[in-house]
């Protein structure tokens, strides 16, 4: 099977020949630039200029030779933009290493897009078409579309949470205007890239370590119908395009509502949070939601334990989650600086050896 076939089989709850493997398809399955340099060195791969596509998180563009080495099944739209020098500028890391960062450090991959600018949309379309022609991996297009996170950014998290309870009219007005903008941008994004990608990524972190930031009732009142409008905007025009939501934390209580809103998959599946045990999630939501993540504890295990223990940990998680599809492997969030290269290699090799 090709990478695209494996990933789509997971969404269709079909058993594939191998566990679908995501490396760097989204900004929670990536790798820190320092860890990436050490990984390439460990694998004896050629020294190449390092491109940092996410400046805030210091995430490196994972080159195709690394994706090929581990037989990865996914590809993030925009992560081959090194072919376009106008999108990059030189930068020097603290250790003196010369690297490339986006010319607009506030932009997001695949490029800073003004959705009202036809020239930029045409560039996005060109990039998406070129990517489609050059890979049989499943292509993940990161859109965004956050509601709660944007409210927290605009007003401050404490203020926005208080508004949901004490100033609901102000929250309604803000969210209505924000959703209207997201829908306009989404329409433009889909017209440019929709037929070239396999998964469209939304993001909206709604959970802490122990519970959602608000009750299911609050979610239904403020966010459900607005998310559903965006998800319907995808499915109505591109029925085969899958929707993945990045949402960290203990969100178990919200998952049935996400499904009802039209969600196809969720990442990064933070299984060490309350209510997020993998066997329970698999049992309750199999056939309803694909779990894109939950493959390896990247906070407490990947940095600290021996490679053989990494193997056992990853093997058990794949054993729980992969049967019958509905699972795409990624660790629980990005690989950070200081994580041993041998553990990273063992993690991905175990996925590929799993049977």
Angle at 234 between CA 232 and CA 238, to 5 degrees: 120
Q: Say if residue 254's pLDDT is above 70.
A: yes
Q: Say if residue 145's pLDDT is above 60.
A: yes
Query: Is-contact 4 10, C-beta < 8 A?
Result: no
Q: Say if residue 202's pLDDT is above 60.
A: yes
Domain interval for residue 285: 3-28+113-353
pLDDT value at residue 195 = 97
pLDDT in tens, 20-59: 999 999 999 999 999 999 999 999 999 888 899 888 899 9
Per-residue pLDDT, averaged over 142-154, amounts to: 96
Q: How high does pLDDT run on average in the chain?
A: 93
Confidence of residue 98 (pLDDT cuts 50, 70, 90): confident
pLDDT in tens, 206-240: 999 999 999 999 999 999 999 999 999 999 999 99
pLDDT value at residue 112 = 59
pLDDT value at residue 111 = 57
Q: Say if residue 80's pLDDT is above 80.
A: no
Domain CATH number, residue 314: 3.20.20.210
Whole-angstrom distance, CA of residue 21 vs CA of residue 140: 13
Domain membership flag for residue 80: no
Domain membership flag for residue 41: no
Q: How many helices and strands in the chain, by DSSP H and E?
A: 13, 11
Query: Is-contact 342 307, C-beta < 8 A?
Result: yes
Query: Is-contact 320 278, C-beta < 8 A?
Result: yes
Query: Is-contact 242 200, C-beta < 8 A?
Result: yes
Per-residue pLDDT, averaged over 133-140, amounts to: 96
- Of 331 and 89, which is predicted with more confidence? 331
Instruction: Please report which helix (H) or strand (E) contains residue 92, including its range.
Output: strand 88-92
Instruction: Please report which helix (H) or strand (E) contains residue 102, including its range.
Output: strand 98-102
Domain membership flag for residue 106: no
pLDDT value at residue 81 = 66
Angle at 226 between CA 222 and CA 229, to 5 degrees: 160
In this structure, the strands spanning 98-102 and 88-92 are: antiparallel
- Of 276 and 114, which is predicted with more confidence? 276
Q: Say if residue 325's pLDDT is above 90.
A: yes
Domain membership flag for residue 239: yes
Domain membership flag for residue 99: no
Instruction: Please report which helix (H) or strand (E) contains residue 351, including its range.
Output: helix 341-353
Per-residue pLDDT, averaged over 248-274, amounts to: 97
Half-sphere exposure of 92 (CA within 13 A, CB side): 3
Q: Say if residue 2's pLDDT is above 90.
A: yes
pTM over 0.85? The answer is: yes
Number of domains in the chain: 1
For 239-298, the DSSP string reads TT-EEEEE--SS-GGGHHHHHHHT--EEE---TTSTT--HHHHHHHHTTT-EEE--S--T
pLDDT value at residue 161 = 97
Distance of CA 321 to the CA centre of its chain: 18
Confidence of residue 190 (pLDDT cuts 50, 70, 90): very high
Half-sphere exposure of 280 (CA within 13 A, CB side): 11
pLDDT in tens, 266-315: 999 999 999 999 999 999 999 999 999 999 999 888 888 899 999 999 99
Lowest mean pLDDT among 179-183, 186-190, 300-304, 342-346: 300-304
Instruction: Please report which helix (H) or strand (E) contains residue 41, including its range.
Output: helix 33-42
Domain membership flag for residue 143: yes
Give the CA diameter of the chain.
58
Q: Of 134, 111, 136, which is closest to residue 124 (Cα–Cα)?
A: 111
- Of 95 and 99, which is predicted with more confidence? 99
Domain membership flag for residue 66: no
Whole-angstrom distance, CA of residue 112 vs CA of residue 114: 7
Q: Say if residue 182's pLDDT is above 60.
A: yes
């Amino acid at each position: 099977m090709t990478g695209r076939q494996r990933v789509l089989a997971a969404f269709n709850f079909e058993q594939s020949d191998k566990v679908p493997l995501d490396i760097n398809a989204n900004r929670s399955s990536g790798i820190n630039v320092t860890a990436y340099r050490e990984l390439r060195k460990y694998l004896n791969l050629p020294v190449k200029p390092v491109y940092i596509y996410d400046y805030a998180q210091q995430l490196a563009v994972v080159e195709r030779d690394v994706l090929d080495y581990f037989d990865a099944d996914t590809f993030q739209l925009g992560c081959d933009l090194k072919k376009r020098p106008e999108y990059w500028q030189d930068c020097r890391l603290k250790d003196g290493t010369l690297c490339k960062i986006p010319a607009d450090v506030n932009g997001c991959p695949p490029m800073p897009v003004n959705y009202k600018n036809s020239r930029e949309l045409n560039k996005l379309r060109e990039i998406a078409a070129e990517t489609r022609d050059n890979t049989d991996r499943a292509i993940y297009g990161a859109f965004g579309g956050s509601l709660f996170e944007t409210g927290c950014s605009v007003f401050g998290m404490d203020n926005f949470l208080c508004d949901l309870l004490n100033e609901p009219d102000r929250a309604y007005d803000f969210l209505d205007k924000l959703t209207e903008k997201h829908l306009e941008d989404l329409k433009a994004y889909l017209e440019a890239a929709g037929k070239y990608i396999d998964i469209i990524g939304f993001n909206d972190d709604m959970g802490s370590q122990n519970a959602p930031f608000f009750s299911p009732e609050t979610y239904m009142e403020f966010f459900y119908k607005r998310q559903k409008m965006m998800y319907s905007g995808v499915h109505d025009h591109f029925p085969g395009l899958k929707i993945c939501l990045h949402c960290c934390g203990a969100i178990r209580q919200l998952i049935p509502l996400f499904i009802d809103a039209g969600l196809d998959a969720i990442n990064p599946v933070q299984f060490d949070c309350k209510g997020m045990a993998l066997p329970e999630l698999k049992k309750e939501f199999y056939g309803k939601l694909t779990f894109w993540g939950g493959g390896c504890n990247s906070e407490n295990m990947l940095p600290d334990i021996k490679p053989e223990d990494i193997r056992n940990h990853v093997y058990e998680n794949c054993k729980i989650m992969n049967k019958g599809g509905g699972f795409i492997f990624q660790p629980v969030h990005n690989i950070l600086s200081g994580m041993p290269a041998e553990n990273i290699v063992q993690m991905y090799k175990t996925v590929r050896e799993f049977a």
